[in-house]
């Protein structure tokens, strides 16, 4: 059974700092991995999707990497801004028609 872990549960950083959010998964045989952002009381916004054959994906100030063999993914946020404050969820899909398995998320607070 796939399990996804995100540690720490919460993180507070000053504005402008570069930061890394970690995600680990127990079964390295994955189809893809997706990072989401969730604002309080809202749904999920997809940030980046990495296929199993890829090592990283970039979108603006965000960069996600994937190391299947070690069961890890990282989301790198450059030059953090208060508007980046949200919960960031990592989710893994084991097969093309498999369900997404979510971590509990990391709640990020960027202080002005």
Partner 1 sequence: GAVVSQHPSWVICKSGTSVKIECRSLDFQATTMFWYRQFPKQSLMLMATSNEGSKATYEQGVEKDKFLINHASLTLSTLTVTSAHPEDSSFYICSAKVASPGAYEQYFGPGTRLTVT
By the criterion CB under 8 A, which residues form the site for partner 1?
4, 9, 31-32, 34, 36, 41-46, 49, 51, 89, 93, 96, 99-100, 102-105
Rounded Cα–Cα distance for residues 7 and 20 (Å): 11
- Chain centroid to Cα 2, Å, comes to 16
Could you tell me the smallest distance in angstroms from the CB atom of residue 55 to partner 1? 16
Could you tell me the smallest distance in angstroms from the CB atom of residue 57 to partner 1? 11
Q: Of the two residues 80 and 87, which places its CB atom closer to partner 1 in the complex?
A: 87
Could you tell me the smallest distance in angstroms from the CB atom of residue 15 to partner 1? 24
Q: Classify each residue of 19-35 as buried b or exposed e, where b means 16 or more C-beta atoms within 10 Å of its C-beta.
A: bebebbbeeeebebbbb
Of the candidates 8, 6, 19, the one whose C-alpha atom is nearest the C-alpha of residue 81 is: 19
Q: Of the two residues 9 and 79, which places its CB atom closer to partner 1 in the complex?
A: 9
With 0-12 / 13-18 / 19 or more C-beta atoms within 10 angstroms meaning exposed / middle / buried, residue 2 is middle
Q: Of the two residues 24 and 34, which places its CB atom closer to partner 1 in the complex?
A: 34
Could you tell me the smallest distance in angstroms from the CB atom of residue 42 to partner 1? 6
């Amino acid at each position: 059974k796939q399990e996804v872990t995100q540690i720490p549960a919460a993180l507070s950083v000053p504005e402008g700092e570069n930061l890394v959010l970690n995600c680990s998964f127990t079964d390295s045989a994955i189809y893809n991995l997706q990072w989401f952002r969730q604002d309080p009381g809202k749904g999920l916004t997809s940030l980046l999707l990495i296929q199993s054959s890829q090592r990283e994906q970039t979108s603006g100030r965000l960069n996600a990497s994937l190391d299947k063999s070690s069961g890890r993914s990282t989301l790198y946020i450059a030059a953090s801004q208060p508007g980046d404050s949200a919960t960031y969820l990592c989710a893994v899909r084991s097969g093309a028609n498999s369900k997404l398995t979510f971590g509990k998320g990391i709640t990020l607070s960027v202080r002005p």
